[in-house]
Structure 1
Amino acid sequence: MRIWRLLASGFGVGYAPRAPGTFGALLGLALGTLLLAIAHWVLLLGIVAVTALGLIAIERLNEAAADPGWIVIDEIAGQMVPLLMLPRIGWAGLAVSFALFRLLDITKPGPVGWADARHDAFGVMGDDLIAGGLAALVLLAVETFLVPVLTN
């Protein structure tokens, strides 16, 4: 039971007195950046592994219905998703990916909110993964459509 609590809390990061989700996302940013430095596929494998561990931990702890703030493994996994765009957007995109992910995770627009409405492990993890996916799409759109206009 203790190992699942340790994993779900991001090795204790989730017990930060203020903004545990933000600190969890920062941990995801750091972990994702380290994995991406090894290889793109290692980052993808890391996202899958953190997501799987998160689903198991949340189920084992029986905390999905409450979605307590100290569970930040969902923010860790979700923040790693937009990093998949980093080879395209460059390292300057780290701050933008973080800001976009947090904005989407906090405001919960559309599909992020729909996933959050589920009171199970898939809802806890899913809203953050969707927020990360949407952040990745925004980063890709900016890189594809806006950057060429600004640089030409």
Structure 2
Amino acid sequence: MKRLLLHPVHCLAFGFGSGLAAKAPGTFGTLAAIPIVYAMQLTGLLTYSVITIIAAIAGFWICGYTAKTLGVHDHPAIVWDEIAGYMIAMIALPFTWYNVLAAFALFRFFDIVKPGPIGWCDRNLKGGAGIMVDDLLAGVASAVVLHAVHAIFNLSF
């Protein structure tokens, strides 16, 4: 499996190797997203948003291609979906320790529990969409909760 990291598409799908963790690869994939989010936030909201959209759209192909190569629909080592989902969870939020931690916890919660439409997508979509959409929705749900908390408690951005 490690030899697949030499292929650029598989390297992305495996979250630069974070998805090869023996336990909780999705959690390690989400952790790998944190420095990416930090670097992206330095570019400003517009660039951050464009890169996030590109990562999400490209993820359909990246994850689908790697799944097809491995012959497994949603292999645990494929974590690009977690990276893109966490990027969404942190959109338009300042990079503070409490936002990073809250986004991480909420995203992992929605990704693992898969409530409502998140679970439906996970069970019913196939290919790259079946890998990506549930995590993108988990990211959206996390962002909605975080932005609502900021609004309700009048937290400054």
TM-score, normalized by the shorter chain, greater than 0.5 = yes
Change (3 A) 1:77 1:46: same
Which amino acid is 1:23 matched to? F
Deviation (angstroms), 1:49: 2.3
Q: State the distance in 1 between where 2:84 and 2:133 align.
A: 10
- The gaps in structure 1 that reach 5 residues or longer are none
TM-score by length of 1: 0.87
CA pair 43-64 structure 1, distance change in 2 beyond 3 A:
farther
Aligned mates of 1:121, 1:109 — CA distance in 2: 20
Cα pair 1:74 1:128 within 8 Å, conserved = yes
CA distance in 2, matches of 1:59, 1:141: 33
- Aligned partner of 1:109 in structure 2 is 115
**How many residues were matched structurally?**
146
Q: 2:76 aligns with which of 69, 73, 93?
A: 69
Gaps of 5+ in 2: none
Which piece of structure 1 moves more, 69-78 or 118-127?
A: 118-127
Asked if the contact 1:64/1:124 (under 8 Å) is kept, the reply is no
2:36 counterpart of 1:31: yes
Q: Give RMSD over aligned pairs.
A: 2.0
Q: Alpha-carbon deviations, 1:72-123, whole Å to 9, x = none?
A: 0000000011211314xx6231110110000100000011111111122112
Counterpart CA distance in 1 for 2:127 and 2:107 is: 21
Displacement of 1:64: 8.3
4+ runs deviating over 6 angstroms: none
